[in-house]
Amino acid sequence: MKLCSREDFEDPEFLRTLHEIEPGREDPGHLHRKYWEYAMLGLYLEEVGALREDAQALAVGAGHETPLFWLTNRIGRVVATDIYGAGDFADREASATMLTDPAAFAPYPYRADRLEVADMDARRLEFPDESFDIVFSLSSIEHFGGPADIRKAASEMARVVRPDGRVLILDYHGPSTRRAQLWVKAMSGFLRTWAGRFDPPTERYIEVAGLKVVARRSFMGDLVTMLTLQRDTAS
């Protein structure tokens, strides 16, 4: 497990990736858990060679987040799904406008022909089996409902990812360790906001969803966990 900290925001490769995805973020303004998510997603996809012209990615609970636009300039197809215009985040992160005018949310030029936006429930992904090389969900799965809903969403992600593809899920949960509690206290002057609701770790629910954990990275003590998963061919 790689424990990530404030030092990540001082790492040259981390900052390079962050500034590609979110240009103009300077310390301390870029010290935000969302930007950590973005940079870690980009770094991981680069590390495993997933940023290629023939790659196809699915974002689940995508809203109108910046990595969608960044990815269109690096891979062949990006599909963003969310319950746009509905739910608790409709006014902030999942506006219905994204369905008709995604360019309104783009922070820089992007390949519009490579971005598809669909109004879709994560528990019922309307795609054929093994459609995507990359499936990711950034700080969304904890808002899909209870354990059964999370398991269903994870099962759907497992179904639509290709056997050699990757699923990345970022989850929030309570500060269960003293280290996490101290981290929150120490960083309170730098961090602006994070998700208003904390649930048990997603990892608890995905073991029966056809996915296996191949890597785990944490931020803010143990408050934020990014799981890298693959289909469990043995299940």
**What's the CATH number where 60 sits?**
3.40.50.150
Describe the strand order of the beta sheet including 56-60 as a list of residue ranges. 2-4, 211-219, 224-231, 161-172, 132-138, 56-60, 77-82, 115-119
Q: Is the pLDDT of residue 194 over 60?
A: no
CA distance 202 to 154: 9
Tokens in use for 178?
């003293």
How many separate domains does the chain show?
1
Does residue 37 fall inside a structural domain?
Answer: no
Which residue has 């969310």 as its token pair?
82
Does residue 62 fall inside a structural domain?
Answer: yes
Which amino acid makes up residue 170? Answer: L
Q: What pLDDT is recorded for position 67?
A: 96
Does residue 44 fall inside a structural domain?
Answer: no
The mean per-residue pLDDT over the stretch 118-127 comes to 94
> Residue 15: enclosing H or E segment and its boundaries?
helix 12-21
Q: What pLDDT is recorded for position 182?
A: 46
> Could you tell me the residue range of the domain that residue 137 belongs to?
52-231
Within 8 A by CB and 6+ apart from 122, the residues are: 60, 61, 81, 137, 140, 141, 144, 153, 156
Q: What pLDDT is recorded for position 26?
A: 56
Does residue 38 fall inside a structural domain?
Answer: no
Q: What pLDDT is recorded for position 225?
A: 63
| Average pLDDT score, the chain | 76
195-233 pLDDT, tens digit per residue, is 333 344 556 656 556 677 766 666 545 555 666 667 776
Does residue 78 fall inside a structural domain?
Answer: yes
Q: Is the pLDDT of residue 56 over 90?
A: yes
Does residue 23 fall inside a structural domain?
Answer: no
Q: Is the pLDDT of residue 179 over 50?
A: no
Read off the pTM.
0.77
Asked if 208 and 138 touch (Cβ cutoff 8 Å), the reply is no
DSSP letter at 6?
G
Does residue 39 fall inside a structural domain?
Answer: no
Higher pLDDT: 148 or 198? It is 148
Within 8 A by CB and 6+ apart from 143, the residues are: 61, 87, 88, 89, 195, 197
CA distance 172 to 170: 7
58-101 pLDDT, tens digit per residue, is 999 898 999 999 999 999 999 999 988 676 655 556 688 999 99
Q: How distant is the alpha carbon of residue 55 from its chain centre?
A: 17
